Amino acid sequence: MILTVTLNTALDITYRVPVLRPHTSHRVTEVGERPGGKGVNVARVLAALGHAVTVTGFAGGSTGRELREGLAGVRGLTDALVPCAGRTRRTVAVVDERTGDTTQLNEPGPVVSPAEWSAFQDVYEDLLDSVSAVALCGSLPPGLPVGAYAGLVRTARAANVPVLLDTGGEALRRGVAARPDLIKPNADELAELTGSHEPRRATQDARRRGARAVVASLGAEGLLAHTPEGTWRAVPPARVRGNPTGAGDSAVAGLLSGLVEHLPWPARLSRAVALSTATVLSPAAGDFDRPAYEELLNRVSVTGEVSAA
């Protein structure tokens, strides 16, 4: 069993409109809706790969109810979300059918009370007893201490559960100092953490700050991994066009599944790149194109760079 934590879950809504014209009125031609938030997306990909996965975090209000109804339909996924009094946020993606471009509107998350945070920590600690890895994903909702992830990293380490942290800003900075097994920053998050825009230098620096391994996601340039076992760059066979929403979450699912299957790093990285490329190629945001994934898996180029320091 793998555990994913999404403290700021979301109900992701997609609207298709023929053309988006600001300051006018639009009839939405198609409405899509599904459970979201980074850890939820990671869990869905893990479940699609055949892993048993448990989702925790907060859910509240009518949108939280819908989120949980949506999760109930995912085979292999267990809902261990903790109720909160506030309402789970909605995100609205407005797709312009003429250009394919998306305009994103993200509600703020619910304010989580100290009592709710404390109830969550108890649930989390109990869940750690029966899982082989945990991923802590996404932004913190209002009300939580900025060191929230650092605390969850320490709890996982105390329970001997490998812990992956995928967040940004101050929450990442504090979380890294608590020594997670793996972080997966994108280029912006890595630069914000380390002050360096040079990925190789920055991934090394992120390790010095406390992360046992760092896998930086560099968009079309693939992944750069700096680990105790070595340094690798993994790149897709060709540039692809499509919707990058969820590509980072698919990479996390690839890394995490490879970790619990005890794959060597190059195989983990191939899987992560193939999954994230197949996510860009999928017409539905956040889903991955399975035939493309299987075809890409053997075509990802993984090259060792310098040996680890």
Q: Which range of residues in 41-49, 101-109, 178-186, 187-195 is near a second copy by CB under 8 A?
A: 101-109
Kindly tell me which of 16 and 200 has the beta carbon lying closer to a second copy: 16
Shortest distance, position 98 Cβ to a second copy, whole Å: 11
CA 69 to chain centre: 21
Selected from 104, 130, 301, 303, the binder of a second copy by CB under 8 A is 104
Three-state secondary structure of 173-227: HHHHHCCCCEECCEHHHHHHHHCCCCHHHHHHHHHHCCCCEEEEECHHHCEEEEE
Q: Where are the alpha helices (DSSP H) in 112-182?
A: 114-128, 148-158, 169-177
Three-class DSSP category at 148: helix
Is residue 31 part of the contact set for a second copy (CB under 8 A)? yes
Which residues are within 8 A (CB) of 179 and not within 5 positions of it... i.e. 6 or more apart?
A: 153, 157, 210, 211, 212
Instruction: Return the H-helix or E-strand segment holding 248.
Output: helix 247-260
Catalytic residues: 249
Shortest distance, position 32 Cβ to a second copy, whole Å: 11
Kindly tell me which of 22 and 50 has the beta carbon lying closer to a second copy: 22
Is residue 118 part of the contact set for a second copy (CB under 8 A)? no
Is residue 22 part of the contact set for a second copy (CB under 8 A)? yes
Task: Sort strands 133-137 and 2-6 into parallel, antiparallel or unpaired.
Answer: parallel
> At 306, phi and psi to the nearest 5?
-75, 160
Is residue 103 part of the contact set for a second copy (CB under 8 A)? yes
Selected from 1, 80, 94, 119, the binder of a second copy by CB under 8 A is 94
Kindly tell me which of 65 and 154 has the beta carbon lying closer to a second copy: 65
Is residue 92 part of the contact set for a second copy (CB under 8 A)? yes
Note the residues at the interface with a second copy (CB under 8 A): 15, 17, 20-29, 31, 62-63, 65-66, 92, 94, 96, 99, 101-108
